[in-house]
Structure 1
Amino acid sequence: MSTFGNSSVASSSSSRSTSITPNDYSVPHAGNEGISSLNWSPTANILVSSNWDAGIRCWEVQEQGGQVQANPKAQVNHEGSSPVLDTCFSADGNTVFSCGGDKAVRMWQLGSAPPNNIPQQIGAHDAPVQGVGFLRATNIVVSGGWDRKLKFWDCRQPTPVATLDMPERVYAMDVRDNLLVVATAGRHIICYDVSGQPREYLRKESPLKYQTRCIACFPDQMGFAVGSIEGRVGIHYVQKVAGRDSFAFKCHRQDSNAYSVNCIAFQKQFGTFATVGSDGIVNFWDKDNKQRLKGFNAIQRTISCAAFNEQGNLFAYASSYDWSQGSMHLQPGNEIFIHNVAEDEIRPKGKKASYKR
């Protein structure tokens, strides 16, 4: 265990592996182009990916006795070979919402085969759509685009029920119950209460000096974590918590090199989290005690995205090029791995709570 600000695991290229541990399961049929997001169903071990090849892929994951297997179930595609940039699930886990380069917000009922294998369009922006989320309290879908708009959709209506102007293009967003956080170009961060009509209650400049890459709500909705392209994470509280203050720390750095923090994924049971980066490294962190819980060896490719399942015992991550070094350094191939998380890897030190299975 090491403290915040000392996070990288050195690994020469000759010794790098294809997964963070030798026993991680390789998910079949991960797609041919970059993987932009991974999301788990809130009600079952169903994993969905979005890809730059226009595909949305779905697997049913089984775990027993430490052994993992993922069975491909279905694939649908956005129109015109447009990249899919994000997905999310409905609260009941039966519907996947997606968005991407075709400027559309789409809806796919799992188990159904949409016409031409293209999910139903429920919304549109005037530019590519970067993020999508589901608001449990109102059954509304929210989308954020490069047209500097945040739009809210009732799937039964062709027009948005609300549209909010953003200060810049939406680069990242996340929803956790009644907390919605949106990060835009220009380092703007805006927080909303979405328990009813969306209500803005915090607008601030990112605590990080460089471009925002990812943002994630705390499981308890008391704040958010934001990651940037220069290997830093900011921990910010939107509600006052006794003994807890906002702070930032360095991570995904090796010597004088800084790497993009591509995704932050919280583990619901313990409130701890993972970061993945362009250095091909996964780290598990405890924000409350400001400690790194686990650092894994670097893999051969950048890691573009990751997610814990609802129970918190499975961690999916994508070994996929993130374009952080441009086309000259294109890394071919895509893989999705599932790591069976040992409780002592993700549980805060000294805490005796156990997984809810």
Structure 2
Amino acid sequence: MSAFFGSKPAATQSSNTGGDLSKDVQLSSPPEDSISALSWSPAANHLAVGSWDNKVRIYDVTQNPQGTGVAALDFAGPVLSCDWAKDGQKVVGAGSDKSAKLLDLGANGAPAQNVAVHDAPIRTIRFVDIPNTNTPMLVTGSWDKTVKYWDLRSSTAVATIPCQERVYAMDVKDKLLVIATAERHINIVNLDDPGKIFKTGQSPLKHQTRAVSCFKDANGYMIGSIEGRCAFQYVNDKEASLNMSFKCHRDPAVNNTITVWTINAISTHPVFGTFSTAGSDGTFHFWDKDAKSRLKGHPSVGGSISATAFNRDGTIFAYGVSYDWHKGYASNSPQCPNKVMLHPVVADEVRPKPPMKKR
């Protein structure tokens, strides 16, 4: 197990702010409703965007920085998650209509294929590589309190993991699968033995889990909650001393009252292994867990950030600006922004700090 459950420390807040938004580019022809999910192709600068308007849209930003529409997947309800296969040809989406669909962009206009179904909305979907199998597979997490694995050649799940509660967030890296559910349960699965939970526990955060992202080296994960707090957690018990939580996405106190914002999205930089957080306050920040510090904070973008993703080489950071319902139905209005922005990443924003010299 130690090969994939590895090493190192975590992060707290410093004063390194003042990130530049002036070169951020807005994607043309955005979704018509709130943005729920963003996912970049691992093979090209193609971005999948899931939305509450019942679609997954695919944009090519290789030549045109504002994006060119390539294709779309239609659903019978709001889309909650999307992902790409490693070959950059297949895109999946899933959501509130309890189904998942796959579009093969290399299949010469072939229609989308139904690939998964649950008894309740599917909150999250990921492609996974299961050891000793020669086919890409999907894993889905649902509000029906199950996680299921799907072989694309079959319409029935090949395995099911019962969970304690509804699945709220999930991420996978190498052989590490992290499942976060309602009531703050965290389940760890080693994909060498994918049909059962390897380790389970409670989130160190006191309120509902909203986002999870695996470390680049797959030895732990970062989680965020609705209380403006994040935590870095290592899987190996031997590294438990490196676990820590920290406050973020909170406004300074006014009349002894601190405004706390939900953390909607966490993304891992694919090269440096640093992290981004983004929330209802409309700001995003980059963090170095090993140096225990914030690398860069960016000012408000004018609306809640509902989803984020780094492209395959970490040079573009996509973020969706749209109403996230944190103030309920009454606060939604046509004036709320609804757009996808592309932030050109400067290496110094995301590069880890050099280790402190020992005296």
Stretch moving more, 162-171 or 54-63: 54-63
For 2:116, the equivalent position in structure 1 comes to: 123
The alignment partner of 1:58 has SS state of strand
> What is the alpha-carbon distance in structure 2 between the residues aligned to residue 135 and residue 74 of structure 1?
23
For 2:75, the equivalent position in structure 1 comes to: 78
RMSD: 2.1
TM-score (norm 2): 0.88
Q: How far 1:349 sits from its partner (Å)?
A: 2.2
User: Number of paired residues?
Assistant: 333
For 2:341, the equivalent position in structure 1 comes to: 337
Tell me which of 291, 298, 301 is aligned to 1:299: 301
* Counterpart code for 1:4: T
* Counterpart code for 2:39: N
> What is the alpha-carbon distance in structure 2 between the residues aligned to residue 241 and residue 220 of structure 1?
16
Stretch moving more, 342-351 or 284-293: 342-351
For 1:13, the equivalent position in structure 2 comes to: none
> What is the alpha-carbon distance in structure 2 between the residues aligned to residue 201 and residue 294 of structure 1?
35
Deviating 4+ runs (over 4 angstroms):
6-10, 240-244
* Counterpart code for 1:124: V
The answer to whether residue 230 in structure 2 is matched with residue 233 in structure 1 is yes
The alignment partner of 1:186 has SS state of helix
Unmatched 5+ residue regions in structure 2?
Answer: 1-10, 253-257
The alignment partner of 1:216 has SS state of strand
Tell me which of 122, 136, 159 is aligned to 2:129: 136
For 1:328, the equivalent position in structure 2 comes to: 330
For 1:4, the equivalent position in structure 2 comes to: 12
Structure 1 residues 333 and 114 mapped into 2: Cα distance closer, same or farther (>3 Å)? Answer: farther
Q: How far 1:244 sits from its partner (Å)?
A: 6.3
Identity of aligned residues (%): 40
> What is the alpha-carbon distance in structure 1 between the residues aligned to residue 241 and residue 15 of structure 2?
21
Structure 1 residues 34 and 103 mapped into 2: Cα distance closer, same or farther (>3 Å)? Answer: same
Q: How far 1:259 sits from its partner (Å)?
A: 0.3
Contact preservation (8 Å) 1:168, 1:185: yes
> What is the alpha-carbon distance in structure 2 between the residues aligned to residue 300 and residue 9 of structure 1?
17
The alignment partner of 2:242 has SS state of coil
Tell me which of 209, 225, 230 is aligned to 1:212: 209
For 1:279, the equivalent position in structure 2 comes to: 281
Q: How far 1:350 sits from its partner (Å)?
A: 3.1
For 2:105, the equivalent position in structure 1 comes to: 110
Structure 1 residues 7 and 141 mapped into 2: Cα distance closer, same or farther (>3 Å)? Answer: farther
Tell me which of 261, 270, 273 is aligned to 2:272: 270
TM-score (norm 1): 0.88
Please identify which structure carries the higher strand content.
1
Q: How far 1:6 sits from its partner (Å)?
A: 5.4
> What is the alpha-carbon distance in structure 1 between the residues aligned to residue 68 and residue 157 of structure 2?
36
* Counterpart code for 1:109: D
The answer to whether residue 43 in structure 2 is matched with residue 43 in structure 1 is yes
> What is the alpha-carbon distance in structure 1 between the residues aligned to residue 17 and residue 57 of structure 2?
31
Structure 1 residues 113 and 334 mapped into 2: Cα distance closer, same or farther (>3 Å)? Answer: farther
Q: How far 1:75 sits from its partner (Å)?
A: 1.7
* Counterpart code for 1:22: S
Stretch moving more, 132-141 or 301-310: 132-141
The alignment partner of 1:39 has SS state of strand
Q: How far 1:305 sits from its partner (Å)?
A: 0.6
Stretch moving more, 88-97 or 19-28: 19-28
The alignment partner of 1:333 has SS state of coil
